[in-house]
Structure 1
Amino acid sequence: MASVIPASLSRFRRTGSWIDDAIYAIAVYAVPFLILLGTLATLYFLPRQYEARGAVPLALRVVADRGDIADPADALEALRDVAPVSRYSTHLSEKPIWFSLTTPSMSADSSTVVELPSRHAQTLACWNASTLAPFGRADREGVSGEMRVVKAGFSIQIGRIHQSEEVLCRGTFSGPAQINAFAWEWQGLRNSALDFQESSGLIAGGLLTLAVFVFVTALINHEWTYVIFAVWLVGNLRLCANAMGWDMQWLGRMLPSDFMQPLRQFTFAAYYLLTAALFQQLFRRELRVVGYRWLLRVIQYVGFVLLAAAFALPYAYFIPTLWIIAGFGICVLVFFLARLVWMARSRTVLWYVASLGVVLFATFSEVLGAAFGLKVLVGGVNTVMAALSSSMMAAFAIAEQMRAERDFRRQAQMELRNTYEVTPIGLFTLDSDGHFVRANPALRAMLDLKKADYKARHWNDYFEAGAWGALQALASKGSDGELEMSGSSERDTGERRYLLKAIRSNGWIEGSLQDTTERSKAVERLRFLAEHDPLTGSLNRRGIEKAISQQSDETLPWALAYVDLDRFKLVNDLFGHRSGDEVLRQVAARTRAHFARSYPVGRIGGDEFVCVMNDTSIEDAIAQCRELISILSDAPYQVGNRAFQVKASIGLVECSQGVRVQDALSHADRACREAKKVAHTHLVTYRKGAAAFEERAEELKLVETLGRNRLPPGLFLVMQPIMSLSAPTESLNFEVLLRMRAPDGATLPAGKVIVAAEESGNIAAIDRWVISTLLEWIEAHQHQLANTQFICVNLSGGSLNDEQFMEDIFALFGRYQSIVHYLCLEITESVALHDLENTQRFIARVHDMGGKIALDDFGAGYTSFKYLKALSADALKIDGEFVRSMCAHPADIAIVEAIVALARNLGMRSVAEWVEDVDTLRALHEIGVDYVQGFLVARPQESSAILTASSAASFLKDAEAVSFVESLSEPAQATVFDYDWHARASGTH
């Protein structure tokens, strides 16, 4: 030990002068060491204050009173033939017990006393066996005669005797009682009783002191696990008191005997639950590694069963229940303790495990001994040593935990300090007056602040006017706010921008500061580029559309000029894009210089410019545009040593209030294209009432009609055959297309009707009409569709995202359940990916009802392949743009071939649209396309023509196509092929 002190002394931090260090060393090391050394010497060398020796165990003759013993005389008669024993167990019986003992003379000069130490004794009456003279009576309420309460049980004052004397007693017991007796010389028993009281006081004082310390520590540090530990220590105290027999007391007060049995039962049950809860909380991190959480959950549930039993069962029945449940709990906890020691070998865990192990063994040793008849455990272990050892180990565990937490906090503080010093963001603390208290190196470098200037410098010294007030307002908002401010012009940092965050803490303001000058410039640049063309500095398409949108809300007259450069492409092709870019810059500069500054000018294409001529009549606009044509076309553009002559054409549109942005741009673009054809003026003007406006007015009228009527008149369906390439003469599949007859009898194209319906918001009603009409038609002519495996019908995006439409359609499917398998609903890629989860749910529901799904125009979008695996479609309809030109462009063939292979590998069928010649048909067959559709096969037909046809191939008119189709495979193979798709969509394949 002496060799340890110098090493330890070298670790403590010097506090000042040598006298301070000396006192510190004495207080921390010398005095505690001397106390420890003195304590060990006292325990080893000095005798106990109340040395208790001389107890003589007495043999007992015992018989249970079953109602046949009327008086002490009968009891003596019944005991004569009973063999003597040293200890007798009542086995939880609460019936009266008769027993006799023979006490020797312990001392001729002192009284002889017989101790009956059973803490489970409830009543006791004793007689002199020779004379049957009573010694007295005793119970937990009081004693009489020569009976006394001593330690946990009772004693009989025999008096001074010179020879052995027989004593007869009758007692009642509760719980796992063990009856035994000791003969004492009076002073020896007195010392033993004083030793007992000293031990109980030591245990109570030690455990209560530790519990209070832990409880206060827990409250101060908000560590609620230690609150459980403090309460568990109190429970530990009560169980130790029960084991020693003084649990009738609490803080020096006697508890009423009527409450003792219920209190003991509740104590046992509560202690079980507290042990389980403490174990769970203390080792929650380690238990994640140990596993078997379900087993710990079982003993927790069993604890509630024990608690219910404590309130419901009498003591005699509760004790066996306690043995069973406590035995199970002990086994489980021992299992977990063993795994904890093996797997989580931290010192904290080891101390906790040792403390819990000692308490569990000491507390339940007698229970195990009484329950299982283990003689070695009968009488338990030394309760005082067990309690003190457990408390000491618990103290070590708490100290170890505190040390670990202190080390963790120290490490965290060190890391925080290091982070504070090296972080590139400026960190600061200001006092309530705005002067610096702390600042990290990043902030000092940012503001050129010296440590010596902390108290002398104010926040306002480094930032714009009003910076201190703005900082205070920001700090009052909490951690969510942030603020940008500029530097100080007096310190030549006025152009710099800073991002500031701050909060109030303990009367100070703490915050962070970032120099965002470069980022602010970048953001401003990005904002500029978001609406401006980086090449010319003019507005881009987004910017010009915003300007048009703002102008369309005004009531003042205005016009839109669309400028296009003629043959500008030659400049790029002959002299390079650098020359072309310079010409564009000069065009933009001339345009902005000519027009008033209030006119927004933008570049929306390669050589296309737009000018919003606000608050300008059409006549004034025409005059200005003519001047602009001269300015742009007459003077050459000097680029280096070259001069370029570029002509400009302008389309001018007189606009009205409320015009749509896209409409205005479209009309101006159309006027500009016409202007390029007019060689002499290069200017075309659309005034209000021009033909282009009339056409647009007709479109708006159609939109209004569709919006006013749920179903416009004149709707009808046509059907375009889809031919199978595996057996074209054996199947009759087709797509249903929408048409509309105008009042004048002309047929409006589907595209115009659908666009108008989508604009009016009436597309769902039209889609509902198409599907319901088709289902009615199928039901009426089902017997004529023997060769039809599927009928395609398009579904618009607006309908797919209309919940009411979805419910109506699936209600229709339920009504026509027997024919839904004919339907193949086509949805485009953009519609399918608009809400992927909604589309997946829709496809699954269609499949559940027997329908099929096809992805239309596949390949037109760039996300098709990425999301295809998430869409369980039955077929892919290849975009017609690839099919129509595939024979002229090898790249299109490769794309179509890849889509077909992809569909085949995913178990889907492939359908090629826009098939218009035999060469394309042959190429598609070689690639392996399953179905084809287009004008080569057939144009859209009336329904009557479909019903009279036997197959899609019967519509072929081209002789070469007919010859090719006749050369295809046998019909039997096609039937199997088409059935395979039908089976897959129905969920049977």
Structure 2
Amino acid sequence: MTGVSGSERTSKRWGVSARLDELFHTVSLYAVPVAILLLSLLVLFFQENQYAVHGNLPLSFQARGDLPSSFSLEAAEHAVAATPELRQYDTHLSEAPVWFRVAVTPAAANESTYIEFPSRHAQSLVCWRDGAQQPVGHGDRTGVSGGIRVSKAGFSINLGRLKEPAILLCQGTFSGPAHLTLTAWPSSQLSLSEKEFHRSTGLLEGGLLTLSGFVLVTAIINQEWLYVLFAAWLVGNLRLAANSIGADTQWLERAIPTDWDAFVRKLTFAIYYVLTYSLFTQLFRRELQRIGLRWMVMALQWSGVLLFSAAVALPYAHFVPVLWVVAALGIVIVLCLLVRILVMTRSRVALWYSASLAIVLFATFSEVVAAAFNARALAGTLNSVTAALFSSMMAALAIAEQMRAEHQGKLQAQAELRNAYDVTPVGLFTLDDQGAFVRANAALHTMLGIGALGSHEFRWDDFFGQSTWRMLQDVAQQRGESELEILSLPQPDGSSNRYLVKAILANGRIEGSLQDITERAKTMEQLRFLAENDSLTGVPNRRGIEKSLEEAIRTLSDTRPAALAYLDLDRFKLVNDLFGHHAGDEVLRQVCDRVRQRLSADQSVGRTGGDEFIIVFRDATIREAGAIARRLVDAIAGEPYPIGNRAFQVRASIGVIELAADMRVPDAISAADRACREAKKARRELVVYERGASAFRERLDELRLIDALDAGLTPNSLYLEMQPIMAMADPGGSLNFEVLLRMRDGDGNVVPAHRVITAAEENGTIGMIDKWVLSSTLAWLDAHRERLPKTLFVCVNLSGASLNDEHFIRDIFATLAEYERVAGLLCIEITETVALHDLDNTRRFVDRIHTLGGKIALDDFGAGFSSFSYLKDLPVDAIKIDGAFVKSMLTHPANVAIVEAIVALAKNLGMRSVAEWVEDAETLEALSELGVDYVQGYLIARPQSPEAILTADSAVSFIRDPDLAMLLTELGDEYYAYGGRTRMQ
């Protein structure tokens, strides 16, 4: 006999349970809803309504609303009896008392007969029977008495069991657009009808409040605040429906004070309009932007403002016509917009919302529209109760459609997210709190070589180690998105990959991404190396060596001295020009190798560009650095550099400076560069500047001056002096002078002019200074022209950098045009080198100066590589002989010959000659014999202040030596005897 094992019995029990579970689910999901639907249809069509009424009889009556209040009961009855009978009487917003008369027949044989006055607008009612003087009853919204009682929305009167017809005369007051009808009821049927009325009211209120509450809870849970607005709108539907059936005098089974009724009704309509506008514009915000028609939306908006204002300010009778107009306008505008939206969007959600809004907007206001146009049929078929029922149904459908659309959107988003999760090239993962992988995409599987997660548990520290897991936890707990670079555990070959990890903590799990940046990290390391190292030689570049220099200065102390060397290869350009850049590159590599071999670990060399290098000597005194530099010079020049079948001999010049703690990196390099240039110029191979060396101090002073110029010039930092230029033919006949630039430092000391100019040229402010000198000179001449009658010309020196700047040229000609009255006195001095740099441009500049009446002088003529041939094509007015020739004329006979040649050349070309640096009488006599036109120097006068120039009569006014004055008189006479000229023309 074969037995059944325990595991097989357990498996069978689980199988039966699963099938039962599936059966219950099917019955609950399909069978029960279908059964409920079928049962409801059967009951609806085949069972009698337990609230069905019969025996009610609409009555014809006579009515008048225009009788004076002074009429007696009899007079009123006679007046009403004369009017025709009708079934409905409309007050048309009149609040005057209405008299009506009706003949009542018994409604049932054995029951009391009741006359119902169903108007919800009825405010009071009093009735008399068969001409009696005492009323049968009295009733208003505060209470009833006698045979009158409250019935449904209005009143009813108990006539008892009638044996024969009775005549009933009543007076009533009404508010709003009242429609007066009368109905005779058997007491039992009226009671049944009242029960059905209250039941319907309760169902309407309970159903809409339940739906509104459901929508509100849904909105709060899902944080969809649009549904809050929709819930409030449903409550508005309820109040309008209650108003339609006359049940708006209570709320939640509590009566609203009678005095508040009119105001509450007005406010209900106004608030409902505002809610409808807000709901409509929020539901279709995007659609309204798409279709345009902004003016229609604004019309709706301002109509709401008008309606709300009318509700607050106007009485009910006057408010109702405003409501009719606004309601009609709102219906037309909203329906137009809805049609446009549906045509353009074709959204099912928009369709249901539109249907709900359309029904409510049309049906809710049908009664007021019917009252305005006396459309009784419309009022009988469509009202606010119908609107509330239909809009509730449409709202349910809209919410269902919205939920379906959102659910489909979520499913689609999840599918897209899942697809993106699987195909993204970045590794994505989810870890539990123990570091085990819960989920991972294909990219992560590939990166880490992970198999199927279900087959084996993989942990984070299996790939990155326990310390990295703790780091990942710290990163994930930080607010915002954080990232971390980590290394994987070593692979069998010893290598590790580098990854970038981003992670956040969500629901107790770590969600993150993993990106392999191994190649990027290698590239970045290479880029960082190239950013601070020279790709040709492998030594640091300017940026890298400046970092080393900055560190050396920062750590400088008495126990840790440091020095800096600037190394420049001599005539290295010839190697590139004659044998190509390949040979030059190889020479540079070998030079770097020789230098590095002779430097210690604390010393570093860097290439700043071309054939120039910087060497930082850390922990070395200036003497030690100088000794190392001497060995470097010897090593570079000691042996030739073999390149292929050729060998090159290379020499170097080095400048070494002692570093100070207050030095800046650019200043230190500039000082070392100056020392190197001095070594190259003097052909000394090595120049060493100790910290106290005069040349070193001068260079630092120049750098500080450059900083001062960079910071901007203060008005008192620059000033002008003027050195007289004397005419040899008539020393006392003119007062000409050269304008000289001067500058005071912060301590008030005068800075040498050549240092100011050198610093300005280095930092690029020379153009600004030249412009200041020129404009200041012209402004001074213009202000004192009448006090300078003997001034024929004023020399102003402009730098080559300025004259090669088109913007500067444009500005100076604008300045000359501004001072046209004194522009003819100006004589601009330009150096020979600047003039030859661009001869055509110089010629154009000279011509423009001549057009304005100014003059041009060639300054320092003879100091450069002079070429006399260009002078015939350059129409300058004067030649200023370089002072170096003049000062040494009497000691070097060759200089006399040079000066004589220049003077003769000037005379032959129609130019004037000016000799500078005249410092003794013997030189003056020699110049006179050579025929020089003008002289300038300390012998005549030192540079003077502008005030001293204004007080002088001529250049001779500054001569205090009587012997020199007599000599000038004699020389003047001799000058005329030899046919000299006196003026620069």
TM-score relative to the length of structure 2: 0.72
Q: Is the 8 A contact 1:633 1:647 kept in 2?
A: yes
Aligned match of 2:523: 522
Alpha-carbon distance in structure 2 between the residues aligned to 1:373 and 1:661: 99
Cα distance in 2 for residues equivalent to 1:565 and 1:620: 22
| Superposition deviation, residue 262 in structure 1 | 2.5
Question: Corresponding residue for 1:873?
Answer: none
Q: What displacement does 1:242 show?
A: 0.6
Once the two structures are superposed, what CA deviation does each residue of 1:912-952 show, in whole Å capped at 9, x if it has no partner?
A: xxx3125x889xxxxxxxx88999975599xxxxxxxxxxx
The answer on 1:916 being equivalent to 2:919 is no
Partner residue of 2:871?
A: none
The residue aligned with 2:586 is 582
| Cα displacement string for residues 334-372 of structure 1 (whole angstroms, at most 9, x for unaligned residues) | 222222222221000010010111111121011112234
Per-residue deviation, residues 53-96 of structure 1 (Å, max 9, x unmatched):
44333223222365444442221022132233322222222232
Paired amino acid for 1:668: A
Structure 1 CA distance for aligned equivalents of residues 231 and 750 of structure 2: 95
Secondary structure, counterpart of 1:416 in structure 2: helix
Residue of structure 1 in register with 2:862 after alignment: none
RMSD (Å) for aligned C-alpha atoms: 4.2
Structure 1 window deviating more from structure 2 (118-127 vs 300-309): it is 300-309
State which of 541, 545, 566 in structure 1 corresponds to 2:570.
566
Contact 2:567 2:653 (C-alpha < 8 Å) held by counterparts = yes
Corresponding position of 2:480: 479
CA distance in 1, matches of 2:281, 2:857: 75
Q: What CA deviation, in whole Å up to 9, does each residue of 1:763-783 have, x standing for no partner? A: 99999999999999989999x
Q: Residue type of the partner of 1:199?
A: S
Question: Which moves more between the two structures, 213-222 or 171-180?
Answer: 171-180
The answer (yes or no) to whether the contact 2:81–2:101 under 8 Å persists in 1 is no
Q: How does 1:650-669 map to 2 (within 5 A)?
A: 650-669=654-673
Q: In the alignment, which residue of structure 2 is the partner of 1:909?
A: none
How far apart are the structure 1 equivalents of 2:299 and 2:635?
92
Give yes or no for contact 2:481–2:503 (8 Å, CA) kept in 1: no
Q: Deviations over 1:283-335 (max 9, x none)?
A: 11211112123432343344244334434433233333333333332332222
Contact 1:532-1:543 within 8 A present in 2 as well: yes
Which residue is equivalent to 1:136?
Answer: 137
Distance in 2 (alpha carbons) for counterparts of 1:488 and 1:212: 59
Say whether 1:696 aligns with 2:699.
Answer: yes
Instruction: State the match for 1:740 in structure 2.
Output: 742
1:461 is aligned to 2:387: no
Asked if structure 2 preserves the Cα contact closer than 8 Å seen for 1:87 and 1:179, the reply is yes
AA paired with 2:657? V
Q: 1:490 to 1:133 in 2, by over 3 A?
A: same
Residue 411 (str. 1) matches residue 337 (str. 2): no
Residue 324 (1) aligns with residue 325 (2): yes
Q: Do the aligned partners of 2:849 and 2:855 also contact (CA within 8 Å) in 1?
A: no
Aligned pairs for 1:531-550 (under 5 A) are 531-550=532-551
Query: 2:933: which partner in 1?
Result: none
Deviations 1:805-855 (A, max 9, x none): xxxxxxxxxxxxxxxxxxxx99899xxxxxxxxxxxxxxxxxxxxx9xxxx
Letter in 1 for 2:585: D
8 Å CA contact 1:675, 1:682 repeated in 2: yes
How far does residue 199 in structure 1 lie from its aligned partner after superposition? 2.4
Distance 1:451 1:241 in 2: 65
The code of the aligned residue for 2:686 comes to: L
- C-alpha distance in 2 between matches for 1:486 and 1:83: 104
Equivalent residue for 1:684? 687
Q: Deviations over 1:437-495 (max 9, x none)?
A: 22222222222223347874432221145112211211121233221121113766763
Q: 1:781 to 1:124 in 2, by over 3 A?
A: farther
Stretch moving more, 556-565 or 301-310 = 301-310
**Change over 3 Å in CA distance of 1:692–1:916 after alignment to 2:** farther
Change (3 A) 1:319 1:690: same
Q: Which residue of 2 aligns with 1:836?
A: none
How much does 1:253 deviate?
Answer: 3.6
Q: Secondary structure at the match of 1:451?
A: coil
Offset at 1:153? 1.2
Determine if contact 2:427/2:514 at 8 Å carries over to the other structure: yes
The reply to whether residue 629 of structure 1 matches residue 633 of structure 2 is: yes
In 2: Cα distance, 1:306 partner to 1:245 partner: 22
Structure 1 residue 649 corresponds to structure 2 residue 650: no
Q: Return the alpha-carbon distance in structure 2 between the equivalents of residues 62 and 940 of structure 1.
A: 123
Change (3 A) 1:714 1:312: closer
User: Does structure 1 retain, via aligned residues, the 8 Å contact 2:242–2:385?
Assistant: no
| Equivalence for 1:398 | 399
Decide whether aligned partners of structure 1 residues 659 and 934 sit closer, same or farther in structure 2, where only a CA change above 3 A counts.
Answer: farther
User: Is contact 1:650-1:682 (8 Å) kept?
Assistant: yes
State the SS of the aligned residue for 1:262.
helix
SS of the residue aligned with 1:478?
coil
Structure 1 residues 713 and 591: CA distance shift in structure 2, 3 A? closer
Partner of 2:30: 29
Which amino acid is 1:202 matched to? Answer: L
Distance 1:540 1:172, change over 3 A: same
Gapped regions of structure 1 (runs ≥ 5): 1-13, 719-736, 783-793, 795-824, 830-850, 852-880, 889-914, 923-930, 942-954, 960-989
1:591 alignment counterpart: 595
Q: Which residue of 1 aligns with 2:355?
A: 354
Q: 1:500 to 1:704 in 2, by over 3 A?
A: closer
Matches within 5 A, 1:268-307: 268-307=269-308
CA contact (8 A) 1:740 1:749 kept: no
- In 1, are the aligned partners of 2:438 and 2:453 still within 8 Å (CA)? no
Q: Spell out the pairing of 1:24-173 with structure 2 (5 A cutoff).
A: 24-64=25-65, 67-132=68-133, 134-173=135-174
1:422·1:442 contact (CA, 8 Å) conserved in 2?
Answer: yes
Q: Structure 1: how far apart are the matches of 2:340 and 2:659?
A: 84
Q: Cα gap change, 1:219/1:658 in structure 2, threshold over 3 Å: closer, same or farther? A: same
Shift of 1:224: 0.4
Distance change (3 Å), C-alpha of 1:700 and 1:574: closer
Q: Is the 8 A contact 1:559 1:618 kept in 2?
A: yes
1:776 to 1:115, Cα distance in 2 relative to 1, 3 A: farther
Based on CA coordinates, which of the two structures has the bigger radius of gyration?
A: 2
Tell me if the contact between 2:741 and 2:773 (Cα under 8 Å) persists in the aligned partners. no
Greater mean deviation of Cα atoms: 747-756 or 353-362 = 747-756
- 1:126 touches 1:137 (CA, 8 Å); kept in 2? yes
**Is the alpha carbon distance of 1:102 and 1:748 closer, same or farther for their aligned partners in structure 2, counting shifts above 3 Å?**
farther
Corresponding residue number in structure 1 for 2:422? 421
Larger deviation, residues 687-696 vs 737-746: 737-746
Distance 1:399 1:885 in 2: 88
User: Secondary structure at 1:331's aligned position in 2?
Assistant: helix
Relative distance call for 1:453 and 1:575 in structure 2 (3 A) is farther
Aligned-partner SS, 2:716: coil
- Partner Cα distance (1:312, 1:768) in 2: 77
Deviations 1:627-686 (A, max 9, x none): 11222222343445654443333232334332333333233333334444566x632333
Cα 1:463–1:569 shift into 2, 3 Å: same
Cα 1:428–1:690, aligned 2, differ >3 Å: closer, same or farther?
same
Residue identity opposite 2:98 in structure 1: I
Q: Deviations over 1:712-754 (max 9, x none)?
A: 3652499xxxxxxxxxxxxxxxxxx994367889866975586
* Aligned residue in 1 for 2:606: 602
Q: Tell whether the 8 Å contact from 1:323 to 1:368 is kept in structure 2 after alignment.
A: yes
Distance 2:336 2:857 in 1: 80
Report the equivalent of 1:256: 257
| One-letter amino acid matched to 1:429 | T
Moved more, 669-678 or 368-377: 669-678
